[in-house]
């Protein structure tokens, strides 16, 4: 079937199989390799993307679900070659080691901050509970997200 969607702000119109996973369409048809396939079973979160702003596992979502919807992947975070605040802070906080979990972590964090601009550490931990990281032990990741939230809400508060 024909899938019409917006991916990282750009309209796409492609042919997809009715039972294709969104992950395969992103990676294979659209060449977006940011979302990773870790477990293919909804457990690791490496494939996390945003569908109309909600974090979902692209390995479990049918590609058809994106019809007339907005898909965001990690490739859509940077603007004009400049990393966004979360990406920069992940680097600064040492929240990345092997980097396999990072795209998914960033998308879960992006969804959280859009909904809860000033989350508690517990809320951050809950938001990334579906994103496994076998390198960092999570503390640096939670620090990075918390730092961005603090800065963003401080700058909004000053408006």
Ligand X SMILES: Cc1cc2nc3c(=O)[nH]c(=O)nc-3n(C[C@H](O)[C@H](O)[C@H](O)COP(=O)(O)OP(=O)(O)OC[C@H]3O[C@@H](n4cnc5c(N)ncnc54)[C@H](O)[C@@H]3O)c2cc1C
Q: Residues interacting with another protein, by CB under 8 A?
A: 1, 17-19, 21, 38-45, 48, 51, 54-57, 59-62, 64-65, 67, 108, 111-112, 126-127, 129-132, 134
Can you name the residues that pair with 109 across neighbouring β-strands? none
Where along the sequence are the contacts to ligand X (CB under 6 A)? 41-43, 60
CB of 128 to another protein, least distance (A): 8
Residue 24 binds to ligand FES (criterion: CB under 6 A)? no
Closer Cβ to ligand X, 41 or 158, answer by number? 41
The span from the CA of 16 to the CA of 72, in Å, is: 18
- Residue 135 binds which entry of another protein, ligand X, ligand FES, none, with Cβ cut-offs from 5 to 8 Å by kind? ligand FES
**Radius of gyration, CA atoms only, the chain:** 16
Phi, psi of 50, rounded to the nearest 5 degrees: -105, 130
The span from the CA of 146 to the CA of 93, in Å, is: 11
CB of 99 to ligand FES, least distance (A): 6
Q: In the chain, what is the greatest distance between 2 CA atoms, to the nearest angstrom? A: 49
């Amino acid at each position: 079937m024909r899938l019409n969607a917006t991916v990282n702000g750009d309209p796409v119109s492609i042919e997809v199989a009715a039972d294709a996973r969104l992950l395969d369409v992103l990676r294979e048809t659209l060449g977006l390799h940011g979302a990773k396939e870790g477990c293919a079973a909804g457990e690791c979160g490496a494939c996390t993307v945003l569908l109309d702003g909600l974090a979902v596992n692209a390995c479990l979502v049918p590609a058809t679900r994106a019809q007339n919807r907005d898909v965001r992947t990690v490739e859509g975070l940077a603007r004009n070659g400049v990393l966004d605040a979360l990406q920069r802070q992940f680097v600064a906080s040492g929240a990345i080691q092997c980097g396999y979990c990072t795209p998914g972590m960033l998308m879960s964090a992006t969804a959280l901050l859009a909904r809860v601009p000033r989350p508690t550490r517990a809320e951050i931990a809950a938001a990334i509970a579906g994103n496994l990281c076998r390198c960092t032990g999570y503390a640096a990741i939670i620090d990075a997200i918390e730092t961005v939230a603090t800065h963003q809400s401080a700058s909004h508060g000053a408006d």
